[in-house]
């Protein structure tokens, strides 16, 4: 059996919109706006969305700014 390559899809952790909202301390509607606006990549599974943990972390890294 072959070893998993780095970046293999089986290593990806998918989060629900509710989990992303809790992680970012925002409402689910805010997460839906980010997804629909194209700011946060998501995968559609049936009628719901899943966002990778890495995409959430990347979004937060890019959104960080220094005040002052």
**Is the distance from CB of 15 to CB of 48 less than 8 angstroms?**
no
Q: What is the CATH number of the domain that holds 50?
A: 1.10.10
Cα–Cα distance for residue pair 14/46, rounded to 1 Å? 14
pLDDT at 11: 82
pLDDT at 2: 52
Cα–Cα distance for residue pair 12/53, rounded to 1 Å? 8
Whether 4 is in a domain gets the answer no
What domain range is 34 assigned to? 12-63
Whether 5 is in a domain gets the answer no
pLDDT in tens, 9-57: 778 899 999 999 999 999 999 999 999 999 999 999 999 999 999 999 9
- pTM for this entry: 0.79
Find the distance separating the first CA and the last CA of the chain, reported in whole Å. 54
Whether 58 is in a domain gets the answer yes
pLDDT at 10: 76
Which DSSP state fits 40? S
Whether 32 is in a domain gets the answer yes
């Amino acid at each position: 059996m072959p070893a998993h390559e780095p970046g293999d899809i089986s290593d990806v952790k998918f989060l629900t919109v509710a989990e992303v909202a809790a992680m970012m301390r925002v409402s689910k509607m805010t997460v839906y706006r980010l997804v629909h606006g194209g700011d946060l990549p998501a995968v559609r599974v049936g009628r719901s969305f899943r966002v990778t943990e890495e995409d959430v972390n990347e979004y937060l890294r890019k959104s960080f700014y220094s005040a002052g």
